[in-house]
Chain A
């Protein structure tokens, strides 16, 4: 079983970093996911259903803002990916990982037998990585919609935590919320 793995939300000032792992059936073609990178949220929702309804297996995992502050965003996104992969049922034996890094395998467990390959711009080149990218992004966006209700005033529903002008202005007035990444430039005053 070959899984594609990708992450979403490395850049935002707030919220978790989300990762997804997807195993697609043989013959699932790239053309079915075409336009998924297009910004239309509707097209993305459709691609999300296309993946979840056809995937042989899929899972998501995340790292919290606290973890991001503690171990840095890069390691936190690898941790999120590891959590996604560990939730895959059945366990995969090969991973395509978007980017230039592979997941540091934890001691013990089934990781010894999982082979990994990092592929740069994998979200455009490999259909299962593309699928993972969609799952991670849509799941994270949905979560940020929920957070918008819990921590209103920052505009999480529209910018999803990314550093837009409106977001920075809200931060200047309200200060950071509990889901802000305190180590990110622009979050804490000064």
Chain B
């Protein structure tokens, strides 16, 4: 299926919405959405106590180009890491102990999209873990 740019954005927002709800159910608190800095954007920033998770939300419908979670390329990972460093400089240093980069893949739309969640999917250098 092809979508217009407007439809793509709204599908992406819907995917972010469902990941927010998903994280909330699992005891994580979403503290920022669409945080932009230093040329990068972080879809969601969530907290589990003193652990911070920078979450990249991937949404894609079946299009024969592989899984959505496989589509976070090296350049994208670096931009996310750069934005994350900027974010960390804005919060009190003692308010977090650990930070990690997660990827949430949202499959399909509608009432109950399937979410596959990968904590610590890559590190601050963009290396896949």
Q: Which residues of A contact B (CB under 8 A)?
A: 25, 46, 49-50, 52-54
B30 to chain A minimum Cβ distance, whole angstroms, is 14
User: Inside 8 A of A46's CB, which chain B residues have their CB?
Assistant: 100, 119-120, 129
**How far, in angstroms, from A190 to B118 measured CA to CA in the complex?**
51
Residue B65, interface by CB 8 Å: no
- Smallest CB separation, B84 vs chain A (Å): 17
List of B residues within 8 angstroms of A25 by Cβ: 114
Give the residue name and chain of the A residue nearest to B120 (CB).
Answer: A46
**B116: CB under 8 A from chain A?**
yes
16 A-B pairs in the complex with CB atoms less than 8 angstroms apart: A25-B114, A46-B100, A46-B119, A46-B120, A46-B129, A49-B119, A49-B120, A50-B117, A50-B118, A50-B119, A52-B26, A53-B26, A53-B117, A53-B119, A54-B116, A54-B117
On chain B, the residues within 8 Å of A54 by CB distance are: 116-117
* B-side contacts of A49, CB under 8 Å: 119-120
CA distance A50 to B129 in the complex (A): 13
Q: How far is the CB of A146 from chain B (nearest CB, A)?
A: 14
Cα of A38 to Cα of B114 in the assembled complex, Å: 30
What 0/1 pattern do residues 106 to 129 of B give for CB contact below 8 A with A? 000000001011111000000001
Closest 8 CB pairs of A and B: A49-B119, A53-B117, A46-B120, A54-B117, A50-B119, A53-B119, A53-B26, A46-B119
Instruction: State A120–B26 Cα separation when bound (angstroms).
Output: 31
Instruction: Give Cα A49–Cα B121 distance, bound, in whole angstroms.
Output: 11
Closest to A46 in B: B120
Identity of the chain A residue whose Cβ is nearest the Cβ of B116 in the assembled complex = A54
Bound CA–CA A53/B129 (angstroms): 17
